Amino acid sequence: MKVLVVGSGGREHAIVKSLKKSTKVDKIYCAPGNGGISYDAECVEINAMEFEKLADFAQNNSIDLTIIGMDDPLVGGIVDVFEEKGLKVFGPRKNAAIIEGSKSFSKDLMKKYNIPTCGYEVFHSPEEALMYLEGKEFPIVIKADGLALGKGVLICQDLTEAEKAIGSIMLDKQFGDAGNTVVIEDFMTGREVSVLCFCDGSHIIPMTSAQDHKRALDGDKGLNTGGMGTFSPSPFYTPEVQSFCEEKIYQPTIDAMKAEGRDFIGILFVGLMLTPDGPKVLEYNCRFGDPEAQVVLPRMKNDIIDVIEACIEGSLDKIDLKFTDNAAVCVVLASDGYPVNYEKGKEIKGLEAFEEKTDYYCFHAGTKLNDGKIVTNGGRVLGITALGSDLTEARKKAYDATEWVSFDNKYMRHDIGKAIDEA
Ligand code: GLY
């Protein structure tokens, strides 16, 4: 079959690599893709937000299945456009992708259906928000309601910081219309765990767990990023935690979406906080995590096409989802200065070291092909993943492999997976 993947990051490269392992896939396209993806798939120069053009491409090239990797097109309704044209597509429709597209929607859903999360209030005007903040305990979390490239969550240590956050989100419109509404949440403490789940509208199957490192600098310091590295599985996600989440969080979320007439078909990313009072939902996303996909998909034993088709056909309960009994660590190689200012166009050397290696992956995020050479083209450049018999071995191998490639201004965190030493 012919498959089209929509997106251009490390997550989409991980999806493409999984498709390459499938016995059912003959040809892979990726729109728009990136420099590294172009070695594994035919890249198509169509932007992920050009829904009509993408659907026309799928129609004209007899694409059997399109997989949407990114949040923006999903929240914007790309799946609805494909379905209206009778095209097979994997991802939630617009009315279900709202679970990521609106933080107030997801918080209200959790409240209505008793899904564990922290206390919160929703505000549509800065005056009301500022009034509410008077006398609140700090730290407190302020979130822009809509999509904000992963930057719309601000943790405020005191009233002054909170007032500044409301000003920049609601008045200065730092995140555009995404900040017309804000959610103010209680601050939760504990371990963060990401669990990506396959969903067919009625059934939900969680994948193996992962943990992201969102801050730019070692020791969880610096600005929030899209993610500087991941490891899988999380040793903190015990069988007891998993049972609790399956009973109180995953299935209730899918049931709640169905009850609201918003059947969720696709990947539900549940961001969990393992608090002293038990697991609670931090956030939902409507797609694979990035860089969570880069440690979860390499460990999946099933043919990804079988699982995706079961999601679309509503027969996910027939799937026995299996992961290898090992571990994976992904270290992101970024351009120094990310996530604020960074240079592009630097040649990347040493990529051939990953060829023919089974335990190592070099997922491309911000790269492009320039005169036959791969050069940097974004803040997050590469995701270096290694598999090992356990997390300690995977971590050592991943860090060893980060030395195989070089480019000017290469930057990485040095403590990805360090938390595993405390488990
Ligand atoms: N790694 C976090 C995300 O994909 O949103």
Q: pLDDT tens track of the chain, all 423 residues?
A: 999 999 999 999 999 999 999 999 999 999 999 999 999 999 999 999 999 999 999 999 999 999 999 999 999 999 999 999 999 999 999 999 999 999 999 999 999 999 999 999 999 999 999 999 998 999 999 999 999 987 889 999 999 999 999 999 999 999 999 999 999 999 999 999 999 999 999 999 999 999 999 999 999 999 889 999 999 999 999 999 999 999 999 999 999 999 999 999 999 999 999 999 999 999 999 999 999 999 999 999 999 999 999 999 999 999 999 999 999 999 999 999 999 999 999 999 999 999 999 999 999 999 999 999 999 999 999 999 999 999 999 999 999 999 999 999 999 999 999 877 777
CA angle 149, 155, 160 (to 5 degrees): 120
Homologous superfamily of the 327-422 domain (CATH) = Phosphoribosylglycinamide synthetase, C-terminal domain (3.90.600.10)
How far, CA to CA in Å, does 286 sit from each of 55, 188, 404?
Answer: 20, 22, 34
Burial class (CB in 10 A: 0-12, 13-18, 19+), 404: middle
The neighbouring-strand residues paired with 2 are 27
Burial class (CB in 10 A: 0-12, 13-18, 19+), 139: middle
Q: Decide if 329 contacts 295 (C-beta within 8 A).
A: yes
Q: Is 150 in the pocket of ligand 1 (CB under 6 A)?
A: yes
Please identify which residue in the block is written with the tokens 């490239």.
149
Cα(246)–Cα(204) distance, rounded to whole angstroms? Answer: 9
Q: Is 285 in the pocket of ligand 1 (CB under 6 A)?
A: yes
Mutating to test ligand 1, I would choose from 12, 209, 285, 295 the residue with most ligand atoms within 8 A of its C-beta, which is 285
Cα–ligand 1 centroid distance for 227 (angstroms):
6
CA angle 207, 208, 212 (to 5 degrees): 110
Q: Is 100 in the pocket of ligand 1 (CB under 6 A)?
A: no
pLDDT given for residue 420 in this prediction:
76
pLDDT given for residue 79 in this prediction:
99
pLDDT given for residue 293 in this prediction:
98
pTM: predicted TM-score of the whole model, two decimal places: 0.97
Q: Decide if 380 contacts 352 (C-beta within 8 A).
A: no
Widest distance between CA atoms in the chain: 61
pLDDT given for residue 267 in this prediction:
99
Alpha-carbon Rg for the chain, nearest whole angstrom, is 21
For the segment(s) 191-318, the CATH number from 3.30.460.20, 3.30.470.20, 3.40.50.1820, 3.60.10.10 is 3.30.470.20
Both ends of the chain: CA-CA distance in Å? Answer: 43
CA 212 to ligand 1: nearest atom = 1
Residue 271: half-sphere exposure toward Cβ, Cα within 13 Å? 21
Q: Decide if 406 contacts 324 (C-beta within 8 A).
A: no
Identify the sign of the CA torsion 111, 117, 119, 124. negative
- 354: its two tokens: 């990953």
CATH topology assigned to domain 119-186? Dna Ligase; domain 1 (3.30.1490)
Q: Hey, whose CA ends up nearest to atom 3 of ligand 1?
A: 289
Q: Where in the chain is CATH 3.90.600.10? A: 327-422
pLDDT given for residue 422 in this prediction:
76
Residues in the chain: 423
Cα(267)–Cα(286) distance, rounded to whole angstroms? Answer: 6
Q: How many Cβ atoms are within 10 Å of 352's Cβ, its own excluded?
A: 10
Q: Hey, whose CA ends up nearest to atom 4 of ligand 1?
A: 289
Mutating to test ligand 1, I would choose from 103, 269, 363 the residue with most ligand atoms within 8 A of its C-beta, which is 269
| Torsion-angle region of 317 (φ positive above 0: left; ψ -120 to 50: alpha; else: beta) | alpha
Q: Is 290 in the pocket of ligand 1 (CB under 6 A)?
A: yes
- Residue type at 423? A
Q: Is 283 in the pocket of ligand 1 (CB under 6 A)?
A: no
Q: Is 212 in the pocket of ligand 1 (CB under 6 A)?
A: yes
Q: Where in the chain is CATH 3.30.470.20? A: 191-318
Closest CA to 292 of 392, 376, 211, 374: 211
Identify the sign of the CA torsion 149, 153, 156, 159. positive
pLDDT given for residue 50 in this prediction:
98
For the segment(s) 2-90, the CATH number from 1.25.40.10, 3.40.190.10, 3.40.50.300, 3.40.50.20 is 3.40.50.20
